[in-house]
Amino acid sequence: MPDRLSESSDERSDQQVVIKVAVAVPLRRLFDYLVPASLPVPQSGCRVNVQFGSRTMTGLVIDVCDSSLLDKEKLKAVKEVLDSEPLLDNQHLQFLSWVADYYLHPAGEVFLSALPKLLRKGKPLRAAEHPYWKITSSGIEELKQGPGRAVVQHHLLQILSEAQQAVGPESLKIASRSWKTAISALYRKGLVERVKEPADYEQHSLPAFKATKDQQHAIESILAGLNSFKCFLLFGITGSGKTEVYLRCIAEVLTNRQQALVLVPEISLTPQLVSRFRQRFNEVIDVLHSGMSDSQRMQAWNRARQGESSILIGTRSAILVPLARPGIIIIDEEHDSSFKQQDGFRYHARDVAIKRASMEAIPVVMGSATPSLESWHNTQQNRFNLLTLEQRATAGGLPDIHLIDVEKQPLENGISIPLREGVRKCFKQGEQSLLFINRRGFAPAVCCTSCNKLIQCSRCDARMTWHRKEGRLVCHHCGRTGRWPDHCPACDGEELVTIGQGTENIHQTIQQMVPKASIERIDRDTTRRKGELEERLQRAHSGEAEVLVGTQMLSKGHDFPNLSLVGILDSDQLLFSSDFRSNERLFQLITQVAGRAGRADKRGVVLVQTRFPDSPWLQAIAKHDYRGFANMALEERKQANYPPFTHIALLRAEAVKQHEALKFLDVMHQQAKSLIASNAQMQSVSLSEPVASVMEKRAGRYRAQLLVQAATRKPLHVFLHQWRSVLETARQSRHVRWSLDVDPVDLY
């Protein structure tokens, strides 16, 4: 991918320069265009506007050359050169090219996905226009007076005070959706001041820090690996101080005038993490996630690209952002499935981060209390360096986990007597409790008492969930809604009842149990509005909410200092799932939720309600025995020939007509067998029979899948690249939607 400096039209009036352009279309190729003499020759990494079919599209220049395999007279001319300097350098283009090749995704869509939305639309790259804000001496005095009724204003003053530097709108927006009104009020009162951009502060000395032996070893090991490629798995129990290890290592990276990229799985984890980083570093820290406006994302992206920001904290897509001086990549909660994109460009941010770190010759640190079995296996094979933190940084220690046998323990609306008593006791003692149930809504099913049939979604093989507050039935798979039926659709029976509990139901039950308690429900239904999630989490972190009820949005990364009791209401959902990763997810989910308890000096208690207290998986959880669990799970995977002992890809197909997807996969199965038989490199590739998906009908379409496996990656990818060409040209593919998912995390 050679660079070519721009030439004036006079210098090349008789030349015909060809550029190869990536365009965001579902075709696996680049497109040749001529650069007219009236335009400067763009360098690779610059954007151009080109005619593509009947549309004008923004593309990215990947290469500049003097020839084309096509007749130059047939090539279209570039309409406009949008950038005078490359937005992406050659190394980053090579990295993105590898990603496109590995995940077998159209190169144009991959290259353009590394740009912010506004740049993909051809908008000019503009610097930040919004002012930064600093707290004044009057603001510091006001902060001491307490929040009063202006809670949001007080919260913004806290952020500005803790940051000790100017803070931009991207961070203030996280604090509250009404931050603009609040900051304007503070400005009028003289409690904050505007500055054009963050000052260039000197690095503060690090605070006094008594590292545990394990923390010190981890820090020294990672620092010894700076400026070279190494993979570290930081296996630390919940509350063991993994974030402190990150901060210490990043401090050294910043001393070397390099940048740090920190990936987190969820937007909900961003505010708390950013706050800790701002307290520690007087540097420009940017965040990048889906909750930001397009303009804010472009500005954060550009500051990282130009090296103006020292630390970039972001969710999955941040791994594609160019950095001027990369020094370290950190992946917090590396096991989390949110790092895998589940549609379109199906990449895994953790795996892509490892490849990027190898190309940049920098270390990558992956942290988790419950590592993915793939990462754990890599430590056993000496591909990753294992670093362990096996004691909590606080005096409380790990929480006591008790398995409550609900077959022997009466439940009242889904809550056992020990859990009820525990919640009441916490409330009386001024402590927080958390009730976790991974089902939103009031009840997960509505049943007819006459025929015992459940109300089903007409577009999915799924039951409808009752949302009582909104007064509607909702399908959580396709979003279809409906009113409470007057009679049973199956038998015309008139008596319908709800079955089971969701977060809305549990919230109501807790209100009746502890009527004076302040209860905060946190799930997708209560956090739809912009800024709602951050405000609810703020009330939870501050202790204002005395009882928390929620889904897995509360399970990871949050630090609730006053939380002493966690109740897990239904732990059996994943015990008998058909997904081969279900036991791993069960261990991760319960361990992560349990880890919220006892984060300060008091030992927490976790009550797990189950019908199978003798399950070896639950017994391992109760003992905090990740190693024992991992040994069992890896042996099971080995026997079943599943990852990490094999490499897999999944061909998915869906069609409007039933059996059409399976017919397509049957044909592709035969084509695949012929390919394998004809090529010695592919002999180790094996194919499953095409089958209907576990939920065959979803959103009105019928789905099926075909699993491909191989003991090593190379033969699998040789096969997939050839098979993809067959898939793209197959006549039957016109009647179905299909996709290839490399390294899928879900098989359903």
Q: Is pLDDT at 600 greater than 80 in this prediction?
A: no
CA atoms 717, 718, 721, 726: torsion sign: negative
What's at 236, amino acid-wise? G
HSE-up of residue 573 (Cα within 13 Å, Cβ side)? 15
Judging by DSSP bridges, how do beta strands 686-687 and 701-710 pair with one another? Answer: antiparallel
Mean pLDDT on 723-736: 88
**Is residue 130's pLDDT more than 60?**
no
Q: Is the pLDDT of residue 638 over 70?
A: yes
444-460 residue pLDDT tens? 999 999 999 999 999 99
SS3 content of the chain, % helix, strand, coil (to 5): 35, 20, 45
pLDDT value of position 196: 62
User: What per-residue confidence (pLDDT) applies to 2?
Assistant: 41
Place of tokens 């599943």: 642
pLDDT at 199: 46
Mean pLDDT, rounded, for 310-337: 96
For residue 200, pLDDT over 60 is answered with no
Question: Within the chain, what is the greatest distance between any pair of CA atoms?
Answer: 89
DSSP assignment of 221-238, as one string?
HHHHTTTS--EEEEEE-T
The answer to whether the beta carbons of residues 442 and 502 sit under 8 Å apart is yes
| pLDDT at res. 194 | 80
Residue 228 has pLDDT above 80, yes or no: yes
Burial 731-747 (b: 16+ CB within 10 A, else e): ebbeebebbbbbbbbeb
Lowest mean pLDDT among 83-87, 408-412, 670-674: 408-412
Q: What confidence tens digit (pLDDT) does each residue in 7-30 have?
A: 444 444 446 799 999 999 999 899
pLDDT confidence of 599, banded at 50, 70, 90?
low
Q: What percentage of the chain carries pLDDT values higher than 90?
A: 66
Mean pLDDT across 595-607: 80
pLDDT at 202: 41
Neighbours of 247 (CB within 10 A): 21
Q: Chain centroid to CA 400: how far? A: 29
Provide the 3-class DSSP secondary structure of residue 346. coil
Rounded Cα gap, residues 643 and 623, in angstroms: 26
pLDDT of residue 409: 85
3-state DSSP call for residue 317?
helix
Higher pLDDT, 96 or 731: 96
pLDDT, position 206 = 54
* 553 pLDDT higher than 70: yes
Question: What is d(CA 690, CA 705) in angstroms, rounded to the nearest whole number?
Answer: 6
Q: In what order do the strands lie in the sheet with 472-474?
A: 465-467, 472-474, 481-482
Does 418 have pLDDT greater than 50?
Answer: yes
Mean pLDDT value across residues 555-565: 80
Is it the case that residue 204 has pLDDT exceeding 50? no
Inter-residue contact 329 to 246 (CB < 8 Å)? no
In this predicted structure, the answer to whether residue 389 has a pLDDT above a threshold of 50 is: yes
pLDDT at 104 over 70: yes
Mind listing the domains of the chain with CATH numbers? 17-120 (3.40.1440.60), 132-195 (no CATH), 213-389 (3.40.50.300), 400-442+501-636 (3.40.50.300), 647-742 (3.30.70.360)
User: Mean pLDDT over residues 189-206, rounded?
Assistant: 63
Q: Can you give the pLDDT at residue 10?
A: 45
pLDDT at 208: 60
Indicate the helix (H) or strand (E) that contains 397. none
Q: What is the average pLDDT across 647-651?
A: 97
* 314 three-state secondary structure: strand
Query: Residue 488 has which token pair?
Result: 């049973």
Average pLDDT, the chain: 89
Residue 424, pLDDT score: 96
pLDDT bucket at 560, cuts 50 / 70 / 90: confident
Confidence of residue 579 (pLDDT cuts 50, 70, 90): confident
Amino acid at 168: G
pLDDT for the residue numbered 127: 65
Q: CA-CA distance, 658 to 655, in Å (whole number)?
A: 7
pTM of the model: 0.87
Please tell me which residue, 166 or 35, carries the higher pLDDT value: 35
For residue 577, what are the contacts with CB-CB under 8 A and spacing of at least 6?
A: none
Task: Band the pLDDT of 634: cuts 50, 70, 90.
Answer: very high
Cβ(267)–Cβ(403) below 8 Å: no
User: What is the DSSP secondary-structure string of 240-307?
Assistant: S-HHHHHHHHHHHHHHTT-EEEEE-S-GGGHHHHHHHHHHH--S-EEEE-TTS-HHHHHHHHHHHHHT
> In angstroms, rounded to a whole number, what is the distance separating the alpha carbons of residues 230 and 366?
11
pLDDT for 158 beyond 80: yes
Question: Is residue 78 within 8 Å of 34, Cβ to Cβ?
Answer: yes
Q: How sure is the predictor about 731, in pLDDT bands with cuts at 50, 70 and 90?
A: confident
* Better-predicted residue by pLDDT, 201 or 270: 270
Q: C-alpha 677: how far from its chain's center?
A: 39
Helix axes 151-163, 270-280, angle to 10 degrees: 40
What element of type H or E holds 521?
strand 519-522
Greatest mean pLDDT among 236-240, 487-491, 532-536, 573-577: 487-491
Q: Say what the pLDDT of residue 201 is.
A: 39
Element containing residue 466 per DSSP (H, E): strand 465-467
Residue 142 pLDDT exceeds 80: yes
Q: Say if residue 168's pLDDT is above 70.
A: yes
pLDDT tens-digit series, residues 231-280? 999 999 888 889 999 999 999 999 999 999 999 998 777 777 888 888 88
Q: With a cut of 80, say whether residue 128 has pLDDT above it.
A: no
In tens, the pLDDT along 471-508 reads 999 999 999 999 999 999 999 998 999 999 999 999 99
Cα(35)–Cα(45) distance, rounded to whole angstroms? 15
Q: Write the pLDDT tens digit of every residue in 40-96.
A: 999 999 999 999 999 999 999 999 998 888 888 889 999 999 999 999 999 999 999
Strand partners, 231: 364
More confident residue, 672 or 576: 672
Please say whether the beta carbons of 566 and 399 come within 8 A: yes
